[in-house]
């Protein structure tokens, strides 16, 4: 196999490379003076099984174009199979029509990746499972729950006080999977959205008084919902509240919001390359998903089952 890295998260790509003991393919992914993407593959990839590692995180459009152009370059270089490895799938929150005359951008992105020439997609914790059906090519959605469960076992003492919380009704299945792995109880925060990125807590389903709570979600963007839910849980009598989130988008004032919140800590994966400003923030901690992604790549290359990773 061959691994090709875009510019979105070179640190994660290198970690996956180290895990597989497969060097990154020599390539140039640069910009023209007018910011057009320019890609040159500096190795022979004819007949190869190539995995392009590229999250479509901020700047989402630039990173998406890099991915599409890398796929096109590989297709024209006669690669046998091209897998788009997207640890974070951007535009996933736009997965349905939320009103009149609105797009389904996740479907559009799926079409772009397919038409560019990708033969399959590997991603992690899609915002909603039905996005897999937007692709007409095989799509593997890795689950971060085993990774998070292992970290919780290592950092939180097992006790009857531990409780997993879904920060909204839509994330119940995700939170329940984590709670089952930890043999812990589940609570749900019922939040109501007043607009994109805006929400307020309406009810808390479950008795959280005196419990050590861990919220589990797929995306923390502005972190406003996460922090307001944590405050509501503390007001309801929780002993402490932590949060585990797969994709730390952390845009705008999110980092400051987490620092000033009642959260004990926010744990994120390295699916998105984080800017330097989160370094030194004691409340934010990263766990690597390189081993999980690397093992999935190895299994795909060897035509083995990927779902066995989560049994």
Enumerate the active-site residues: 191
Question: 10 Å Cβ neighbour count for 207?
Answer: 12
Q: Is 35 one of the annotated binding-site residues?
A: yes
Helix (H, G, I), strand (E, B) or coil at 52: strand
15 in a known ligand binding site: no
Q: Is 136 annotated as a binding residue?
A: no
Distance CA 95, CA 83 (A): 22
Q: Is 181 marked as a binding-site residue?
A: no
- Is 119 part of any known ligand binding site? no
211 is in an annotated binding site: no
185 labelled ligand-binding: no
* Strand-strand pairing, 49-53 and 2-5: parallel
- 3-state class of 38 per DSSP? strand
Asked whether the beta carbons of 218 and 271 are under 8 A apart, the reply is no
Is there a binding annotation on residue 21?
A: no
Measure CA of the first residue to CA of the last residue in the chain; give whole Å: 26
| 225 labelled ligand-binding | yes
Contacts of 194 (CB under 8 A, 6+ apart): 200
Residue 193 marked in a binding site: yes
Where are the strands (E) in the chain, listed by range?
A: 2-5, 27-31, 37-41, 49-53, 81-86, 120-124, 139-142, 162-166, 185-195, 198-205, 212-220, 240-248, 266-269, 284-287
Q: Is 311 annotated as a binding residue?
A: no
Is 127 known as a binding-site position?
yes
Residue positions in the annotated binding site for Mg(2+)? Answer: 127, 168
Name the binding residues for ATP. 34-36, 93-94
Binding positions for D-ribose 5-phosphate are: 193, 217, 221-225
Which residues participate in the annotated binding site?
34-36, 93-94, 127, 168, 193, 217, 221-225
């Amino acid at each position: 196999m061959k691994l090709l890295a875009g510019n979105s998260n070179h640190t994660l790509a290198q970690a996956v490379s180290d895990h597989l003991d497969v060097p990154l393919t020599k390539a140039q992914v640069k910009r023209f003076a007018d910011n057009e993407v320019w890609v040159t593959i500096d190795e022979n990839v004819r007949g190869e099984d190539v995995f392009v590692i590229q999250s479509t995180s901020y700047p989402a459009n630039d990173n998406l174009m890099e991915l599409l152009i890398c796929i096109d370059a590989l297709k024209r270089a006669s690669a046998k199979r091209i897998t788009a490895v997207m640890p974070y799938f951007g535009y996933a929150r736009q997965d349905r029509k939320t009103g009149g005359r609105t797009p389904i951008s996740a479907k559009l992105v799926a079409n772009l990746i397919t038409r560019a020439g990708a033969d399959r997609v590997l991603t992690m914790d899609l915002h909603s499972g039905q996005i897999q059906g937007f692709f007409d090519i095989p799509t593997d959605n890795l689950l971060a729950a085993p990774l998070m469960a292992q970290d919780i076992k290592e950092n939180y003492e097992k006790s009857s006080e531990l409780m997993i919380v879904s920060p909204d009704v839509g994330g119940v299945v995700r939170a329940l999977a984590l709670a089952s792995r930890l043999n812990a109880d589940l609570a749900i925060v019922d939040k109501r959205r007043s607009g994109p990125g805006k929400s307020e807590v309406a009810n808390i389903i479950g008795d959280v008084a005196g419990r050590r709570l861990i919220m589990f979600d797929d995306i923390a963007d502005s972190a406003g919902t996460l922090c307001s839910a944590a405050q509501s849980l503390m007001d309801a009598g929780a002993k402490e509240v932590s949060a585990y989130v797969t994709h730390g988008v952390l845009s705008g004032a999110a980092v400051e919001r987490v620092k000033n919140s009642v959260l004990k800590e926010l744990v994120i994966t390295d699916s998105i390359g984080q800017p330097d400003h989160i370094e030194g923030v004691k409340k934010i901690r990263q766990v690597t998903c390189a081993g999980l992604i690397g093992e999935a790549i190895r299994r795909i290359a060897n035509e083995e089952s990927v779902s066995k990773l989560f049994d």
